[in-house]
Structure 1
Amino acid sequence: MADNAAGSTESDTDVELVSPAPLAADRRSADWRDVPGHTDPLTAQLSSTIGGPVGRHALIGRTRFFTPMRVILLLAVVFLSLGWFSKAGCIQQAPIGANGALGLDWSGNRQYVAMCYSDTVPLYGAERLDEGAFPYKKWWEEPGADGSVQRRYMEYPVLSGLYQYGSMAVAKAWDAASWLPGGLQVAIYFNVVAFGLAVAWLVTVWASALLAGRRVWDAALVACSPLVIVHAFTNFDLLATAFATGGLLAWARKRPVLAGILLGLGGAAKLYPLMLLGPLLVLCLRSGRMRVWTQTALSAAATWLVVNLPIALLFPRGWAEFFRLNSERGADPDSVYNVIRSFTGWTGFDGTLAAGEAPSVLNAVSLLLFIAVCVGIAYVALTAPQRPRVAQLCFLLVAGFLLTNKVWSPQYSLWLVPLAVLALPHRRILLAWMTIDALVWVPRMLYYLGVSNKGLPEQWFTATVVVRDLAVLGLCALILRQIYRPSEDLVRYGFIDDPVGGVLDQAVDDPPRWLPNRLRPRVSVHTE
């Protein structure tokens, strides 16, 4: 039997393996790339609907057409389409005008019942864009709560306002062209705005995929976020996310001046991209790369000034309207301050205010709390045993701003999506948070509908805000845990330190001599 067994083994080894097709001449494989079908249970289960995970002996990174980037961008288009359909109910037209003239049909509180509300539609008339007016120059009067009359202007930062103006010009040109499909001008305007915002989100997804490096498939969570369906076209924030992620990509590619230009443009659309200079500052301070940071910061400041200065000089009152309104507005329904008020009956830090009176105490408290968050993040960045990654600190800073600020408009959550995916690529956890955040829209709309119209009481809405805030705090806690336990960080892999780091990637700690010992790394992970 021993001889037979030996003979059997010998014959097996002599069998010639035949491939069903000629083998490729180049059989290199990107084995270092993360394969979600093997490493993530959720992805493995989802992939079973299209044939299962990629084979263990497959060559990775050799697909000619359906590359990860193209698949992710295709998924983004699908979800942006769903986002458009979620808002389409609010651009329906009906014969509601004089003599049956067509008009926008928001009868029966359609915007809340259908949950299709978008700021884009009412702002077309409210900002006098329907008159062809130039933002910041055009003003109008609105009655105040006390009966006084206030002069109002465009309330958005300059780049967002100019984007609305440009979209209006395109919509009016489309409407004037008899050979193009017609419709209500406001509906055409919405579609023009949505098209530009969709392109901006595709840029966000593209930059996120490049920033993800070996974990390119993480960017699919940016493309397929439930928040895209609900809020992609709620407002104009996708402009800022495109510039913010583009700026981070330029930083990662070691192009500090371009990074500053893009962050400056983002700051001219929404202020939050300029906040990303903060994490870069403390990380460059720790690593002795302040010259590079200075180039980025000066480029951002110069770009912001180039965009804003002409409007500020020509139309100073219109330019200042954004800052005036943000100073005078009270606590937003989504803010923690309003949540406390709704459950306790608290009248707020400032009590009852007269019309036009700024909540100065609330402004000061929210500012001080955000400063405290910044100080805490800087302490972590400077003293953690291993230098934190750029995306980790950027997420902590933007999340801290939203949690402490008096305004958290629902679409602001889109700011967090690419940062969260790059900072904490745990797909099930991120998907759970995004789903919770997206679902806050449902009680919000029903609360706006009003109890008298079979809507929900305010506390149903604010209770979901609490759940959303706790989910964001949970993400912050997990990121802090991974900062202090870098071995649990899925992004760090072998030779990979920080894909978004740029000049910070693989950098040794080199803080300035004047930095006190208590603000230096506790334990150095580098050897001299």
Structure 2
Amino acid sequence: MLLLLWHDTLGIGGVGREVYVLYRHWYELLALGTFPVGDVTWQYPPGAGLVLLAPGAVPWLTYYQAFVALTLLADAVVAVALARAGRTGSSAGAWLWTGALPLLLHLPLARYDVQVTAFAVLALLALGARRPRARLGGALAGLGAMVKVWPLLTLLGTPRGPATRRAWTSAAVAAGALLGVMVLSFAHPLDFLRQQGDRGVQIESLGGSALSLARLLAGWPGAVEYRYGAFELTGPYVSSVARLALLLTAAALCWLLVWRLRSRRWNAATPLDAGLAAVLLFTVTSRVISPQYMVWLLGLAAVCLTSRHTTQRPVALLLLPAAALSSLAYPGLYDEVINVTPTGVAVVALRNALLLAATVLSCRRLWRATA
């Protein structure tokens, strides 16, 4: 992975450009005490600012080198935590993380999703431990949510009663405290909220695959444009597809709420399995499925495999070819994907089909095991 990042010429190339151009630009603004203002590519909660500022604490390295070093450190933290959990459960989780992350090639080292995943992994391991630590798990999930929102989903599987109250209270306190610090320390910490509503349908999402297939098979007249930091499809029916994605996300939330109400059987693996199912649901129904989202899913699948009681082993296996196809699509064949060629569309569509199958299987097995 480091060698690929050093050369950074595979496929479309320039995977690390996001760090040494975009992240470095944001770092310089944050160092002056302000979040990006009116920047359509800044779409992250305030806690992300601390992750982007962290490389500045290693002054003997360049920003790019320090960022990669800290990402490797987060990777090591996750690996050690999974290995320790495997001592009383299964070592399969540590093996999955160690072996599957390189399927994404050098992408994980050039994005901050490994750091975010570390929060979610540690939160779930605390919640699913032999002696669950709900307050610690909740606090970690709350801090992770302030960095990239989705780690909050890891709390959906906490058992009813005191554990849920302690976890959600800790999450709220931790997130609120961090938000308060960021509001007092930086200008415009909530400007990211303005950049969310107008996003369209990214070419790598499920909706993007449907529109791309329509262009190939039925002559749909849409086009691909670079907007909001991603390549999006524009043209007839795009707004309808985007609205449908939002409705499906709402339906996914409703299903998760029904699952919680109907569930009667909990074991140590239930919080882990529910976390993976929830993130899968929100991933496949999103208008955006960036390739780095696979880092989240691999991390959560690895946590599930630390428990011998998990229902998600087949789901974890489905995520392996999905990760490989993601790296084939980006950076390997991204020119083909952008130009909506049969090869590019086929690779992304197959990846998305695997993610959809993994989501359905995950939810079905979770429901059967608990409800």
TM-score using structure 1 length: 0.57
Q: What CA distance in whole angstroms lies between the structure 2 residues aligned with 1:113 and 1:139? A: 28
Distance 1:199 1:228, change over 3 A: farther
Deviations 1:277-301 (A, max 9, x none): 2232xx41xxxx2x22112111111
Shift of residue 320, structure 1, vs aligned partner = 2.2
Tell whether 2:288 aligns with 1:407: yes
2:252 is matched with which residue? 373
Query: Which one has more relative contact order, counting CA pairs under 8 Å at least 6 apart?
Result: 2
Q: Are the counterparts in 2 of residues 410 and 441 from structure 1 also a CA contact under 8 Å?
A: yes
- Counterpart AA for 2:327: W
How far apart, CA to CA, are the structure 2 residues paired with 1:474 and 1:419? 17
Give identity over the alignment, percent.
Answer: 24
Q: Paired residue for 1:514?
A: none
**TM, length-normalised to structure 2:** 0.78
Task: Give 2:322's aligned residue.
Answer: 436
Partner of 1:123: 22
Q: Which of these residues, 247, 255, 265, is aligned with residue 133 of structure 2?
A: 255
- 1:215 and 1:162 mapped to 2: Cα distance? 34
Aligned 1:399-478 pairs, distance under 5 A: 399-421=280-302, 422=304, 423-424=310-311, 426=313, 430-431=316-317, 433-445=319-331, 448-449=334-335, 457-478=340-361
In structure 2, C-alpha distance between the alignment counterparts of 1:139 and 1:401, rounded to whole Å: 26
Per-residue deviation, residues 479-515 of structure 1 (Å, max 9, x unmatched): 34544665xxxxxxxxxxxxxxxxxxxxxx9xxxxxx
1:298 to 145, 169, 172: 169
SS in structure 2 opposite 1:254? coil
CA distance in 1, matches of 2:40, 2:203: 23
Relative distance call for 1:463 and 1:234 in structure 2 (3 A) is: farther
Q: Distance in 2 between matches of 1:308 and 1:480?
A: 33
Of 408-417 and 205-214, deviating more is 205-214
Q: Aligned to 2:156, what secondary structure does the other structure show?
A: helix
Q: How many residues align?
A: 343
- The equivalent of 2:111 in structure 1 is 235
The aligned residue for residue 92 of structure 2 is 217
- The question of 1:274 aligning with 2:149 is answered no
Match of 1:87 in 2: 5
**Structure 1 residue 458 displacement after superposition:** 4.4
CA distance, structure 2, for counterparts of residue 328 and residue 365 of structure 1: 14
Q: Against the structure 1 CA distance between its residues 260 and 482, is the aligned structure 2 distance closer, same or farther, given a 3 Å change threshold?
A: closer
CA drift of 1:258 comes to 1.2
Structure 2: gaps (5+ residues): 229-237, 305-309
**In structure 1, what is the equivalent of residue 77 of structure 2?**
203
Separation in structure 2 between the aligned mates of residue 242 and residue 197 of structure 1, nearest angstrom: 10
Residues 139, 373 of structure 1: alpha-carbon distance in 2 compared, 3 angstrom cutoff: closer
Structure 1: give runs of 5+ residues left out of the alignment. 1-82, 91-109, 141-149, 176-187, 487-508, 510-520, 522-528
- 8 Å contact from structure 1 (residues 154, 161) kept in 2: no
In structure 2, the CA distance between the partners of 1:248 and 1:194, relative to structure 1 (3 Å rule), is same
Indicate the residue corresponding to 1:12 in structure 2.
none
What CA distance in whole angstroms lies between the structure 1 residues aligned with 2:343 and 2:14?
Answer: 16
CA distance in 2, matches of 1:465, 1:153: 23
Q: In structure 2, the residue corresponding to 1:119 is in which secondary structure?
A: helix
Distance in structure 1 (CA, Å) of the matches to 2:199 and 2:325: 25
One-letter code aligned to 1:468 = R
Q: What displacement does 1:363 show? A: 6.0
Q: CA deviation at 1:266?
A: 0.8
Supply the distance in 1 between the matched residues of 2:81 and 2:95 (Cα, whole angstroms): 12
Query: Greater helix percent: which structure?
Result: 2
Q: Shift in Å at residue 151 of structure 1?
A: 6.0
Provide the residue aligned with 1:34 in structure 2. Answer: none
Give yes or no for contact 1:260–1:300 (8 Å, CA) kept in 2. yes
2:330 counterpart letter in structure 1: R
AA partner of residue 134 (structure 2): P
Residue matched to 2:232: none
TM-aligned CA distance change 1:135 to 1:89, over 3 Å: farther
Aligned to 2:143: 265
Residue 447 of structure 1 contacts residue 457 of structure 1 at CA under 8 Å; is this kept in 2? no
Q: Please report the RMSD computed on the Cα atoms of aligned residues, expressed in angstroms.
A: 3.5
Tell me by how many angstroms 1:305 deviates. 1.4
| Structure 2 residue matching 1:158: 3-state secondary structure | coil
